[in-house]
Amino acid sequence: MRVYLPATIGMLRQLVSDGKFMPVSGTGFALTPALRESYTSGSTDELEYAALMDAARASLRLIGAALGDEQESADADAELPRRVVVSVDVEDVTLRPDLDHAVVRLGGPVALDDVAAVHVDAPEAEPAVRAAAAEIDAADLGDADAEFVLGEAEDHELAWYASQELPFLLELM
């Protein structure tokens, strides 16, 4: 099953250095039966894109937490505010429709060999992503202004990278 895992640039660095990583709480997003049923129409590609975008939104939460921790610790090595989604092909997943239509839980860490691709924001998205990461909770609670800020970040398309390109991508950051 193709699973989309929310991540940060720091988590990508860990994936490359360790050869594996465990997504936060083992949570990922996929084209599940519940997601398919929640849409009246849509091709498999369109529904997988919806799962990818759910993971990108979850990446904003991770970025918001990392940026909040940075401000408290005054760490000079700032986490780059770029959404990251790691696409993996795994079989050991548990469907979690009780959490949301696309949510799945992984049974363990993901190996670099299981990574099909990585999707990352371009540098020009950083201001919009930083603003959206600060507003994600308010948007979840229905704040229209915060939802607009999220839309600004989501207007940026994620760039696609093959797993073999990760060391070079990270070196250029």
Q: Does residue 143 lie in a domain region?
A: no
Which pLDDT band, with edges at 50, 70 and 90, does 56 fall under?
Answer: very high
Q: Does residue 50 lie in a domain region?
A: yes
Q: Does residue 133 lie in a domain region?
A: no
**94-131 per-position pLDDT tens digit:** 999 889 999 999 989 999 999 999 999 999 999 999 99
Q: Does residue 49 lie in a domain region?
A: yes
Nearest to 11 by CA among 127, 93, 109, 89: 109
Q: Does residue 106 lie in a domain region?
A: yes
Q: Does residue 144 lie in a domain region?
A: no
As for how many domains the chain has, the answer is 1
Q: Which residues span the domain enclosing 53?
A: 2-124+157-166
DSSP 108-141: SPEEGGGEEEEEE--GGGHHHHHHHHHHHHHHHT
Nearest to 6 by CA among 38, 46, 39, 51: 51
Residue 42 above 90 pLDDT? no
* pTM as predicted: 0.91
What tokens appear for 151 in the block? 């839309």
What tokens appear for 64 in the block? 């918001």
DSSP 24-92: GGGEEEE--HHHHHH-SS--HHHHHHHHHHHHHHHHHHHHHHHHHHHHHHT-SSPPP---EEEEEE-S-
Q: Does residue 86 lie in a domain region?
A: yes
Q: Does residue 130 lie in a domain region?
A: no
CA 81-87-92 angle, 5° bins: 125
- The fraction of the chain above a pLDDT of 70, given in percent, is 94
What tokens appear for 121 in the block? 């924001």
Residue 39 above 80 pLDDT? yes
